[in-house]
Amino acid sequence: MGLTRRRFLRGVATTAAGAVLGGAAGRARAAPAPIKIGLLLPYSNVYAVLGESITDGLSLVFEQAGGTVAGRRVELIKEDDEVNPQVGLRKAKKLIESDGVDFLVGPVSSGVLAAIRDTVHQARQILIVANAGNDEISRDRCSRYIFRASFSNWQPNAPMGSWVAAHVAKEAYLVAPKYAAGFDMMRAFKETFVAAGGKVVGEDYTPFPVNEDFAPFLTKINQAAPKAVYAFFSGSQAVRFVRQYDEFGLRARSRLCGAGFLTESDVLPAEGQSALGIITGHFYSTLLDNPANKAFVRAFRATYARTPDGFAVQGNDSAQVIVHALTATGGDTRDKARLLEALRGVEFDSPRGRFRFDPRTQNVIQPFVYVREVREVGGELANVVVDRIANVRDPGTGCTLPG
């Protein structure tokens, strides 16, 4: 209800721009129809920063390609899902039914992905998941129309379970927001942590999406005095959790570890010194030493004047997937079987390493999951890689895709 006016204005602007550009192109020559890409991302609320990073990473790829792919102009249509499953579903339907997008890209929240999955599948709409990591989408709710260029929630956390047990402590307290992603991530961590002889001494799930104050939970952690705390938070909640964790004096007593989002470059500057020493597992670090990453970081900094994060890489990779698949089909989006086949075969050098989908689940195989520690590098905080685990693929239990 609240965004009606804004949505209306945006709609008007998009239509007007489309009419003007379309008219100009029509006069010049009979140009092929544009490739329509619908972005279903949060541009407000707790994950607004993530939506922006993904959009920036993705736009950069198309800008560098001159705004066209395989001879067809690229048209981006943005919709704000507000991190709300109902809103997400409504906007997804709008993008699929009224805009008739060729590709849907998004969402950020696992809750939104769970809500739109059946609609996407039934509409045979190609969806490139740019963030949301619900394990179920690579397992019993997988779909041949859904490709995930980001991660499954299991991927960064399962390797961390055994790593924390081996290198940090054998007892840990778990905290995560109370929604699908929080449960998935903690489950994956526990799976390998307990198997490696670790003991979970406490477990809390915090209100989501609105929660400003972690004091009640931090007090409980303080009383439990565990050797390590394993947490998943992202966006503005990550900043608050890390800040308040330090504020309560827990940094000196319990080692804070977590999924990489806790200290990604989008939130790290705001966390400041409070983030020093936090250990996280993630498929990416800005410091990775490979040519694709160096070029990516340089271009991103030049365009947006800030350091890219894992989310920007996900945006970049989602766009690259589209570019490579379309190049393979010569720009053809009509023959869906051919396009799906092209998508399944996509392979390229991503900033995170060699990118390819797992044919069993159509979820990305993480070339590496990096164990990173927040340290000061040249006067700036950064996630320094201290260890890595190669070829991490989701178990994909229950997914019945051919392959």
Comparison of 66 and 216: residue with beta carbon closer to another protein: 216
Residue 394 is a binding residue for another protein (CB under 8 A): no
Cα–Cα distance measured from residue 143 to residue 361, given in angstroms and rounded to the nearest whole number: 8
Q: Between residue 159 and residue 178, which ones bind another protein under the rule CB under 8 A? A: 178
Decide if 124 contacts 146 (C-beta within 8 A): no
Residue 98 is a binding residue for another protein (CB under 8 A): no
Least distance to another protein from the beta carbon of 243, Å?
6
- Options 31-39, 42-50, 280-288, 388-396: segment touching another protein (CB under 8 A): 42-50
Least distance to another protein from the beta carbon of 125, Å?
27
β-pair type (199-206, 228-231): unpaired
- Options 59-67, 69-77, 271-279, 317-325: segment touching another protein (CB under 8 A): 271-279
- Options 44-52, 84-92, 134-142, 147-155: segment touching another protein (CB under 8 A): 44-52
Neighbours of 273 (CB within 10 A): 11
Cα–Cα distance measured from residue 120 to residue 145, given in angstroms and rounded to the nearest whole number: 8
Neighbours of 277 (CB within 10 A): 14
Among 166, 201, 270, 299, binds another protein (CB under 8 A): 270
Long-range contacts of 94-97 (CB under 8 A, 24+ apart): 95/38, 95/40, 96/38, 96/120, 96/123, 96/125, 97/123
Residue 271 is a binding residue for another protein (CB under 8 A): yes
Q: Mind spelling out the 3-state secondary structure of 364-395?
A: ECEEEEEEEEEEEECCEEEEEEEEEEEEECCC
Instruction: Show the binding pattern over residues 202-221: x = contacts another protein (CB under 8 A), - = does not.
Output: --xxxx--xxxx-xxx-xx-
Neighbours of 390 (CB within 10 A): 11
Least distance to another protein from the beta carbon of 204, Å?
7
Least distance to another protein from the beta carbon of 37, Å?
21
Q: Between residue 291 and residue 310, which ones bind another protein under the rule CB under 8 A? A: 306
Among 35, 37, 48, 319, binds another protein (CB under 8 A): 48
Comparison of 176 and 322: residue with beta carbon closer to another protein: 176
Instruction: Show the binding pattern over residues 304-343: x = contacts another protein (CB under 8 A), - = does not.
Output: --x-------------------------------------
Buried b (16+ CB within 10 A) or exposed e, 196-221: eebebbbebebebbebeebeebbeeb
Among 272, 330, 345, 359, binds another protein (CB under 8 A): 272
**Which CA distances in Å does 135 have to 110, 148, 189, 248, 258?**
9, 11, 13, 33, 18
Least distance to another protein from the beta carbon of 217, Å?
7
Residue 382 tokens read as 């950064």
Residue 78 is a binding residue for another protein (CB under 8 A): no
Comparison of 6 and 199: residue with beta carbon closer to another protein: 6
Among 40, 41, 46, 279, binds another protein (CB under 8 A): 46
- H-helix or E-strand containing 161? helix 154-167
Decide if 60 contacts 300 (C-beta within 8 A): yes
Q: Between residue 103 and residue 142, which ones bind another protein under the rule CB under 8 A? A: none
Q: Which residues pair with 205 in a beta bridge?
A: 176
Residue 243 is a binding residue for another protein (CB under 8 A): yes
Residues present in the chain in total: 403
Cα–Cα distance measured from residue 108 to residue 130, given in angstroms and rounded to the nearest whole number: 7
- Options 135-143, 186-194, 266-274, 351-359: segment touching another protein (CB under 8 A): 266-274
φ/ψ (deg, to 5) at 27: -70, -40
Among 248, 299, 303, 336, binds another protein (CB under 8 A): 248
Residues that bind another protein (CB under 8 A): 5-6, 43-46, 48-49, 51-52, 178, 204-207, 210-213, 215-217, 219-220, 222-223, 235-236, 239-240, 243-244, 247-249, 266-267, 269-274, 306
